[in-house]
Amino acid sequence: MSSTVIPLAAGAGLDFSLPQQLTVIALCALTAFISHMALAVFNDGVRPFMLDFIQGRTTRTATTAVSFGLSAGFIFGLGAPMALSSGVLNPWLLFLPTDILGLLSPKKWLAPILGAAWGAVVVFGLGGANNLAHDLPVDFLTAMQQMSTPILFLFTLFPVLAITKQFGRGWGGIAGVVELALVVLTMKLWPNMFAGALAMAVGVLLLIGLAISRDLKQRRLDRATAAQADAKGPAAGAGPAAGTAPGGGAPGAGAPAAGEEPADEPADDPMASLFSASAARLRRYLPLFMVLGAGVCLLAQMHIFGGGEATSFLIAKGQYAEAAQVDFYRVFGFVPLIATTALASGAYGIAGFTLVYPLGYLMPNPVLALAVGAAVFALEVLALSYIGKVLGKLPSVRDSSEHLRGAISETLQLAILFGSLMAANAMGAGLGILVVGGLYLLNEAMGRPVVRMAAAPAAVIVGGILLNVLYWLDLFTPVKG
């Protein structure tokens, strides 16, 4: 991507073909049904609460209340504004409501009907709302496209933040300089390519390389320490008066007594038992998960859906390879979280490890997308226990995923806030900034009733409506151009 902002391809409206409409409706029906069965939810914050629901320690109503409380801000403050401004659907708009509707439904047969109804609202109602907003004197949706530039460019820095937090300022500074150089180089040599693509690739690879190197170094150190302990062991008990072991124990204190378990065979681990039971529960529904994976991958292949904030704008610009690259990097930040919460709760993620997003963007036809999506979900579910065990042996890699998620949130919060203020300036100049910035600050002062990431886009929409009201009252003149 060059330094000039490329107009969004979807700026004209949200119009879907019949196959696209049917896919969205069917997928919303399926995800609501799966949520009702407590097999998967999209909201990572809701998943830890699912174990109590599955085991009958909490009610459907209480679990629905938790889901609504954790999701409503993202649906109306982030999902809807992002879809309206980019012209591309997103998981917050589609899957968070079906989480709620599925859990809310008292009957199994009602859940897919409610999910399908929400899908119909999205595909038939969103376009009308989009067209209506564009016809207003203050077109706040077009103004919201100003968000694309800060989101795309600031998002590039998330590996730098993650490296700095985990490995210190030295490595963070190196990563920052390298990424900046690569962004400048990309803009100069490949102007049609997303400027942050190469920089993000190098940043993520550097983070993973540092984490693996630390884990391998620690394992070598642990083995050396264990070898030294073994070498000292026999010598400590040697001598003619070795009838008593060091510390006053009985002879042979290091060996297990009759009837005891060997020291290297730990007693039953309740967490391991829970993880095993959860993995087995998910495997029992493998065909249903394969259908889910096929549906999500197909939706991504249609290029009317983006898995993230930056991805939505890249899809809108028609940069599908770059969108796939961005969502592929996000996978590294979410695999440990999704795997551990799924094994602990018995409920998987609606999008799995989200690997079906980038694969779907790159699929040349719907048939291949269906096959690949089903295969990817099958492998993910079958490998869940193994992935959990591997992550247990790589603590630095696990920590890297935590830092990646935190860095993604921090960069996007700043980018969305900055982009929202740019949108406010575009639609109302100083008054627009005053209204949108004031609403954002008011939300902060009130203890964030709307989550921080969603507060700024929501403020743009509320501010845009307010500016239109002021125009109709002849108290405001829209900014020209």
Alpha-helical runs (H) found in 87-139: 91-104, 110-120, 126-134
Question: Which residue carries 């983070």 as its tokens?
Answer: 207
What is d(CA 287, CA 139) in angstroms, rounded to the nearest whole number? Answer: 46
Predicted pLDDT of residue 101: 95
What would the two tokens of residue 372 be?
């690949």
**Mean pLDDT per 10-residue interval, the chain, length 481 residues:** 43 75 96 95 89 88 90 88 89 95 94 96 86 83 86 89 92 93 90 83 88 85 80 56 42 42 47 74 94 96 91 90 89 84 89 94 95 96 87 81 86 91 91 94 91 89 92 84 54
> What 3-state DSSP class applies to 479?
coil
What is d(CA 348, CA 376) in angstroms, rounded to the nearest whole number? Answer: 14
What are the angstrom distances between the C-alpha of 33 and each of 79, 102, 297, 394?
A: 21, 6, 18, 35
Whether the CB-CB separation of 307 and 300 falls below 8 Å is answered with yes
Q: Torsion-angle region of residue 143: left (phi > 0), alpha (psi -120 to 50) or beta?
A: alpha
Whether the CB-CB separation of 19 and 131 falls below 8 Å is answered with no
